[in-house]
Structure 1
Amino acid sequence: MSLSITIELSDSDLDHFRDAMKTASENASKLSDQEILAKAEQAIAEMEQAKLPEFVAERVDSLEALMAAVKDEEWQMPEEEKRDILTSLAYFTEPEDMVPDHIPGLGYLDDAIMIELVIQDMSLDLSAYQEFCSFRSTEENRRGAEAKVDRESWLAGTRSQIRSNLRKKRSSGVRRRVFGRIM
């Protein structure tokens, strides 16, 4: 038997998570990009080794995709976007979070909420990166052995178009980002 629970976070609840993210970001500002990524990877590895509740496990893949976007040299992520993602990953570098992870069933609740907030906050960035990866994979399959020939040229045009679309979506102001940045 499973139990479905819906959680609604008020603005003051979200403020609590924003404060936790701000503290984590301040602590992570003392770390290099590589250290933030390594600590976030370690946290994800620990989550994956634990018997995660499904509501956490299904969110971890998106967090890994954001990390992949930062590390993907062909994506050539602009420094501001990279900084936003690394700041969002900062919470996962903290050894102590709001709910201790060892508590069965609930220990990863705060992590799941924070992952969900990060994914909502970075959804346009994640979608743009996934679009780029899809294009790259399709072109590699289509071009076969020729995919390596003039690779940067055929990636550059699509990368530029995807980034242009991302900027347009952000500037439209359609969606408020969870951690206070406007898209």
Structure 2
Amino acid sequence: MSIKISLELSDNDLSHFRELMRLAIEKIKNLPEQEVIKKAEDLCKQMENANIPDFVSQRLSSLKMLISALNDDEWQIPEDEKEEILTSIAYFCEPQDLIPDNIPGLGYLDDAIMIELVIQDMSLDLQAYESFCSFRSAEENRRGSQANVNRESWLTSTRSELRSGLRRNKSISGARKIFSRIM
């Protein structure tokens, strides 16, 4: 039997989490980028090896996706986006977080909440990266291992696809207008 528990974070609660994030960002400010990424990856591995509740594991995949975007050379993430993601994962580099991780069932609750807040903030980046990964996979399946897929080719293809859809929608809309005039 499962039970659903919903949490509503008040403005004060959110302020508290923002302060925790600000402190974490201060602590990592002088760390090299790769060390920040490594610490976040280590936490992910630690969480995978722990018996974490489903509500945490459901959010863990999004944190891993953000880390993958940072590590993916083909994605060619712009520096400003990279900085945003690095600061977003800062909290996960801090070994002493709000709730000690070794408390069974609840130890990763603060991590899950923080992941959820990060996901909400970075949702467009995650969607773009997931689309890129899908495109890359489709291109590799279509062209084989010789497929050269990078952010620019993905953007070019996506732009073309969006423009084609826009033209198609305009032509359908135009046909409807003509049809409505006839009726």
TM-score by length of 2: 0.82
Superposed displacement of residue 160, structure 1: 5.4
Equivalent residue number for residue 169 of structure 1: none
Query: Is the contact made by 1:132 and 1:162 (CA closer than 8 Å) also made in structure 2?
Result: no
Equivalent residue number for residue 7 of structure 1: 7
Instruction: Report the Cα distance in structure 2 between the residues aligned to 1:88 and 1:66, rounded to whole angstroms.
Output: 9
Instruction: Report the Cα distance in structure 1 between the residues aligned to 2:63 and 2:130, rounded to whole angstroms.
Output: 13
Supply the AA of the counterpart residue of 1:95: P
Equivalent residue number for residue 89 of structure 2: 89
Supply the AA of the counterpart residue of 1:63: L
Query: Once the two structures are superposed, what CA deviation does each residue of 1:11-37 show, in whole Å capped at 9, x if it has no partner?
Result: 110000000000000101111110000
Instruction: Report the Cα distance in structure 1 between the residues aligned to 2:41 and 2:145, rounded to whole angstroms.
Output: 33
Equivalent residue number for residue 123 of structure 1: 123
Superposed displacement of residue 2, structure 1: 2.2
Q: CA distance change for structure 1 residues 30 and 19 in 2, over 3 Å: closer, same or farther? A: same
Superposed displacement of residue 140, structure 1: 0.8
| Residues 1:68 and 2:64 aligned together | no
Query: Once the two structures are superposed, what CA deviation does each residue of 1:32-69 show, in whole Å capped at 9, x if it has no partner?
Result: 11000000011111111110011001110110000000
Supply the AA of the counterpart residue of 2:98: M
The structure 2 residue matched to 1:159, chosen from 132, 152, 155, is 155
Query: Is the contact made by 2:76 and 2:151 (CA closer than 8 Å) also made in structure 1?
Result: no
Equivalent residue number for residue 108 of structure 2: 108
SS of equivalent residue, structure 2 residue 65: helix
Equivalent residue number for residue 162 of structure 2: none
Instruction: Report the Cα distance in structure 2 between the residues aligned to 1:39 and 1:145, rounded to whole angstroms.
Output: 32
Instruction: Report the Cα distance in structure 1 between the residues aligned to 2:42 and 2:94, rounded to whole angstroms.
Output: 11
Instruction: Report the Cα distance in structure 1 between the residues aligned to 2:158 and 2:22, rounded to whole angstroms.
Output: 30
Q: CA distance change for structure 1 residues 23 and 99 in 2, over 3 Å: closer, same or farther? A: same
Instruction: Report the Cα distance in structure 1 between the residues aligned to 2:158 and 2:56, rounded to whole angstroms.
Output: 29
Instruction: Report the Cα distance in structure 2 between the residues aligned to 1:119 and 1:108, rounded to whole angstroms.
Output: 16
| Residues 1:16 and 2:12 aligned together | no
Instruction: Report the Cα distance in structure 1 between the residues aligned to 2:15 and 2:73, rounded to whole angstroms.
Output: 34
Equivalent residue number for residue 140 of structure 2: 140
Instruction: Report the Cα distance in structure 1 between the residues aligned to 2:151 and 2:20, rounded to whole angstroms.
Output: 38
Question: Mind listing any 5+ residue stretches in structure 1 that lack a counterpart?
Answer: 164-183
Corresponding pairs, count: 159
Q: What's the Cα RMSD here?
A: 1.7
The structure with more radius of gyration: 2
